[in-house]
Structure 1
Amino acid sequence: MRKSISFPLKVGECSKQAHADFPEKAIYEREAGRSGFFGPASHFHHQHAPTGWSEWEGPLRPRAFNFNLVEKAAQLSPWLVPHLLHNADCKIRVWKIDQSMEFLVRNSDGDDLLFIHQGKADLYCDYGHLEVGEGDYVLIPRSTNWRLEPHEKMFILMIENTNASYNLPEKGIVGSHAVFDPAVLEVPQINDQFKAQYSEDDTQVHMKRGEKISVITYPYNPLDAIGWHGDLSVVKLNWRDIRPLMSHRYHLPPSAHTTFVGDGFVVCTFVPRPIESDPGALKVPFYHNNDDYDEVLFYHAGDFFSRDNIEAGMVTFHPAGFTHGPHPKAFKAGREYKKKFADEVAVMIDTRNALSFADEAAQVENDQYVYSWRESVKR
């Protein structure tokens, strides 16, 4: 697909190009863009930080949640934990489990993407046996029978692609082997561990459809396949196998870090990388109002350099239509180039349609997060 040459309009004092060499009079750049960094965009140069509000009233505001504290997250079945953030396309929840499941589960509503935040386990499913652990994405196709046998306490972020399937992103001119080579994806095996769980004992399958649960009992274990072939499977990807796109002279937009594409949303992964070294390049995420997407960030590990008072297991939410970006300390540190390496791992979920919140999410919200862009944070 070819793109014709177009030239943006220029009014007043502005930089030669986005995210670099700002005018001295206005060091704060703000991007207003459409279609999640792929559509038309303009870049403003402001004399004050675009996030410098003194007060905020109304429900549409930036939020932070501590998902470590969700009370109903510890359940034997993932279908018993609440949806914390959700819309018709995407349902986000966290699940904590520390003992083996004595039954199978099956989601007939859509594909599930599990991100293993903590712990490790053996996963048994229609396709075989797979070891999963910290930092793994595990993609489970719709209507797959599966269960976990944890070896230690597990904390799992679950992202349902309702009524649709996950795909890999188009990687354009960098080619299909960039970011991660599909060859690193792992699939379950019909190995000795899988064969050892064959049985003639009664086995239940807890099937979810339309958020209602049916229990199907078999007089044997349905995970009895001796082999399979095809191009549909459970697959595993660890964040350590992601090799991010980078530029020492240009701060790339979040879309460059897309890992999976759902129907109405994308899942991106931020992993450790060198910080831009060019003297004129922006070295922290740029201020922007992503006017078509809600943005959710789950913090997994490391030093979250663009955020204050954020720890692993927490989630931030930035709704479409308002400006957000680095906190003041991070912006100042970026200007001074104090850090040379971004040592963080986070999962981002950008949704095209507005997300709603469950009561369980509201119960673990930090209601002062909206003021965290102040130079002096309100307590």
Structure 2
Amino acid sequence: MTGIRERLDVEAISAQPQAARHYLPGFGNHHVTEAVAGALPEGRNSPQRAPLGLYAEQLSGTAFTAPRHDNRRTWVYRIRPSAAHPPFRRIDSGMILASPITSAAPEPNRLRWDPRPFPDGRVTFVESLFTLGGTGDVRSHDGVAIHLYCATASMRDEYFVDSDGELLIVPQEGALILHTELGVLDVGPGDIVVIPRGIRFRVVLGDQRARGYILENYGRMLALPELGPIGANGLANHRDFLHPTAAYENREEPVTVIQKYLGNLWAADYDHSPLDVVGWHGNYAPYKYDLSRFMVIGTISFDHPDPSIYTVLTSQSGVPGTANADFVIFPPRWLVGETTFRPPWYHRNIMSEFMGLVHGVYDAKADGFVPGGASLHNCFTSHGADAATYDKASTTELVPQKVDNTLAFMFETRLPLIVSEQAMAAAYRQSDYDDVWAGIGRTFTL
């Protein structure tokens, strides 16, 4: 098969309607999938010769000896072993950074950004990555980094692999088609997708441009939170997480694989696509989730529960109940609390809170926090409703209220987030953010 014909086949996969895509449901399940019947060996993982002339290879997301309930690994059967490539060479890392991020004097101030403007010209997903900040240390698999992407072009002959952490991608504008080693995932605003550490992929734009947020998790892999007294059901359910079915690229032509390793970018020139897995089985795989399937839990009497009830995924730390990172959403929901201030209360938190807005209006900020924008309230930084929101919420008639047509989210971490110098200097950072609380006056009476 010629390179031109293979290119057409690759583009045909992207052109398939999302409704035609088949997925494998179940968070953490052990999945079995073949793009060609007979690609998987029967009853063993590494036969003397794998079926169809393929190569058997194990992809380990945890140590071999990790407890069974934590162990993540996948066996792949591919056209060439992933070891078949020349050395990587260091390339310009652009606007990508890794923790520890060294700033002269990290600020305790509240920070907010307008949406990042789209660039002129052709900029791919990887080329657009912009590190806003981070915490912990990528070298010790602890902490996170937060990035923005703002792309105008698809990755055609370029592939990306992150050796530093798993990527939780939150699209804000524009659809993405993610071609990964283990299959294809379609996502758009209202979805999330998680690409585990070490899995190669490329991003094709489903629209003319795409923008969104990324949590790069250096720590323990994201998992569903414990439900405690909630019981067996609620929040995000296992069956709603979807994994790709096997789909391979049989490309024999020059491509470039870009690897992020300890914060720097490296590249190698391959003579074939690295997405050549014809079949796989295991529990270490990319997945997507439709946030509208989240079952919201809330009060039906009085008071405002802690926002932890909106946690979709969590990366645990060594301290029980204190996350390395949480992914929390604020989706459409009913508010019915009697004699209650219904927006988020005024708050200081040992955890650091980065917020983004996919669409709509966030119920704690009347103005200034817009879709595609972001805010950061670091460790013990005071925050809460702005003046206009407080005035309205503290005086309005408390009838049942539907918060609708909105989707905000939060990346929360136990460590202070160090903001990059490029994010502090960005023209779209709001220098007057503190003014949103300036109108809050004294109402104390004796």
Q: Secondary structure at the match of 2:229?
A: helix
What residue in structure 1 maps to residue 327 of structure 2? 267
What residue in structure 1 maps to residue 403 of structure 2? 342
AA aligned to 1:302 is: G
What residue in structure 2 maps to residue 289 of structure 1? 348
Taking the aligned partners of 1:173 and 1:163, their CA distance within structure 2 comes to 27
**Is contact 2:163-2:260 (8 Å) kept?**
yes
Q: Does 1:127 align with 2:127?
A: no
Find 2:227's aligned residue among 155, 160, 171: 171
What residue in structure 1 maps to residue 293 of structure 2? 241
What residue in structure 1 maps to residue 265 of structure 2? 213
Taking the aligned partners of 1:346 and 1:116, their CA distance within structure 2 comes to 12
Q: Secondary structure at the match of 1:173?
A: helix
AA aligned to 1:220 is: H
Q: Secondary structure at the match of 1:330?
A: helix
Q: Does 1:100 align with 2:154?
A: yes
Taking the aligned partners of 1:121 and 1:316, their CA distance within structure 2 comes to 24
Taking the aligned partners of 1:305 and 1:99, their CA distance within structure 2 comes to 34
Counterparts of residues 289-368 of structure 1 (less than 5 Å): 289-290=348-349, 292-309=350-367, 310-337=369-396, 340-343=401-404, 344-362=406-424, 363=426, 364-368=428-432
Distance 1:374 1:91, change over 3 A: same
Q: Secondary structure at the match of 1:144?
A: coil
Q: Deviations over 1:69-112 (max 9, x none)?
A: 38699842426623112112111111122322021100000111
Q: Does 1:162 align with 2:215?
A: no
Deviation at 1:217, TM superposition (A): 2.6
Q: Deviations over 1:51-81 (max 9, x none)?
A: xxxxxxx942212111323869984242662
What residue in structure 1 maps to residue 283 of structure 2? 231
Taking the aligned partners of 1:97 and 1:177, their CA distance within structure 2 comes to 38
Taking the aligned partners of 1:324 and 1:72, their CA distance within structure 2 comes to 35
Distance 1:85 1:276, change over 3 A: farther
Distance 1:321 1:93, change over 3 A: same
Counterparts of residues 28-177 of structure 1 (less than 5 Å): 59-69=107-117, 75-78=123-126, 81-88=129-136, 89-101=143-155, 102-152=157-207, 153-177=209-233
What TM-score, normalized to structure 1? Answer: 0.77
Quote the RMSD (CA, aligned, Å).
2.3
Taking the aligned partners of 1:179 and 1:259, their CA distance within structure 2 comes to 7
AA aligned to 2:382 is: T
Find 1:202's aligned residue among 232, 240, 254: 254
**Is contact 1:110-1:163 (8 Å) kept?**
yes
Taking the aligned partners of 1:67 and 1:74, their CA distance within structure 2 comes to 19
Q: Deviations over 1:205-263 (max 9, x none)?
A: 11110112221233221211121111111010121111211212231111111111125
**Is contact 2:189-2:358 (8 Å) kept?**
no
Q: Deviations over 1:314-358 (max 9, x none)?
A: 111112223321112212222233581223211101121111112
What TM-score, normalized to structure 2? Answer: 0.66
AA aligned to 1:271 is: P
**Is contact 2:122-2:153 (8 Å) kept?**
no
Taking the aligned partners of 1:176 and 1:236, their CA distance within structure 2 comes to 22
AA aligned to 2:307 is: P
Distance 1:308 1:348, change over 3 A: same
**Is contact 2:125-2:153 (8 Å) kept?**
no
Taking the aligned partners of 1:256 and 1:293, their CA distance within structure 2 comes to 15
**Is contact 2:177-2:184 (8 Å) kept?**
yes
Q: Secondary structure at the match of 1:286?
A: coil
Deviation at 1:182, TM superposition (A): 1.1
What residue in structure 2 maps to residue 276 of structure 1? 336
Taking the aligned partners of 1:347 and 1:173, their CA distance within structure 2 comes to 24
**Is contact 1:283-1:337 (8 Å) kept?**
no
Q: Deviations over 1:249-297 (max 9, x none)?
A: 231111111111125221111101111242x23312111211x111111
AA aligned to 1:217 is: D
What residue in structure 1 maps to residue 29 of structure 2? none
Taking the aligned partners of 2:335 and 2:212, their CA distance within structure 1 comes to 29
Taking the aligned partners of 1:160 and 1:130, their CA distance within structure 2 comes to 19
AA aligned to 1:97 is: A
Taking the aligned partners of 2:129 and 2:122, their CA distance within structure 1 comes to 7
